[in-house]
């Protein structure tokens, strides 16, 4: 009986360890230590007010042709602009348009941030989340640093 009990305990321990290793983490963390809240179904992009993915953050899903108009919040009075919303951080409440310094691509697609509205002008692109190669899926904007007006996802393959 003791042997059976010991075997059962060992088996349960192995099963528990297997599930612990296989289970995804409760919340991914960006390089500045903030928890990821943009990863809904792998479509999000996080725009940050400061360089090095820091400061206030705005999570946006899908393509946006002009950050000056948040089509998801339109009323009979019009559409408000996208604004930074991470509480208590530098840039909170500021408009996203022409105020982004860095980006974190939580999606499974390439994200391109454009200088102009309607996906025009110079752009910065970031590969899909988790990409392992010469480019990272997050970082500072260069061609569109504080001059960003729109972004578009490009599906792979």
Let me know if residue 21 belongs to a domain: no
As a dihedral over the C-alpha atoms of residue 54, residue 143, residue 62, residue 35, rounded to 10 degrees, the angle is -10
- pLDDT value of position 44: 83
Q: How many domains does the chain have?
A: 1
- pLDDT value of position 144: 98
**More confident of the two residues 7 and 50:** 50
Assigned token pair, 104: 């974190």
Question: How does pLDDT run across 23-41, given as a tens digit for each residue?
Answer: 333 344 444 444 445 655 5
Q: How many Å apart are CA 153 and CA 62, to the nearest integer?
A: 7
Let me know if residue 12 belongs to a domain: no
Question: How does pLDDT run across 77-98, given as a tens digit for each residue?
Answer: 999 999 998 667 899 999 999 9
The predicted model gives 49-76 an average pLDDT of 91
**More confident of the two residues 7 and 138:** 138
Let me know if residue 11 belongs to a domain: no
Let me know if residue 90 belongs to a domain: yes
CATH of the domain at 137: 2.60.20.10
pLDDT-derived band at 128 (thresholds 50, 70, 90) equals: confident
- Strand 138-140 with 102-105, pairing: antiparallel
**More confident of the two residues 1 and 28:** 1
- With a pLDDT cut of 90, the percent of the chain lying above it is 45
Let me know if residue 19 belongs to a domain: no
**More confident of the two residues 65 and 35:** 65
Let me know if residue 44 belongs to a domain: yes
Which residues constitute the domain of residue 74? 28-154
Let me know if residue 7 belongs to a domain: no
- pLDDT value of position 4: 53
Let me know if residue 10 belongs to a domain: no
Q: How many Å apart are CA 71 and CA 118, to the nearest integer?
A: 14
- pLDDT value of position 19: 35
């Amino acid at each position: 009986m003791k042997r059976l009990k010991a075997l059962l305990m060992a088996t349960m321990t192995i099963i528990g360890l297997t599930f612990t290793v296989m289970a995804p983490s409760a919340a991914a963390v960006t390089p500045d230590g903030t928890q990821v809240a943009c990863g809904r179904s792998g479509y999000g992009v996080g725009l940050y007010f400061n360089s090095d993915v820091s400061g206030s953050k705005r999570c946006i899903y899908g393509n946006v042709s002009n950050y000056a108009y948040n089509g998801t919040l339109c009323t009979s009075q019009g559409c408000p602009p996208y604004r930074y919303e991470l509480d208590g951080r530098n840039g909170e409440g500021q408009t996203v348009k022409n105020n982004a310094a860095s980006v974190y691509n939580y999606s499974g697609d390439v994200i391109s941030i454009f200088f102009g509205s309607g996906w025009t002008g110079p752009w910065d692109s970031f590969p899909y989340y988790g990409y392992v190669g010469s480019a990272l899926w997050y970082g500072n904007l260069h061609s569109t640093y504080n001059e960003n007006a729109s972004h578009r996802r490009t599906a792979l393959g």
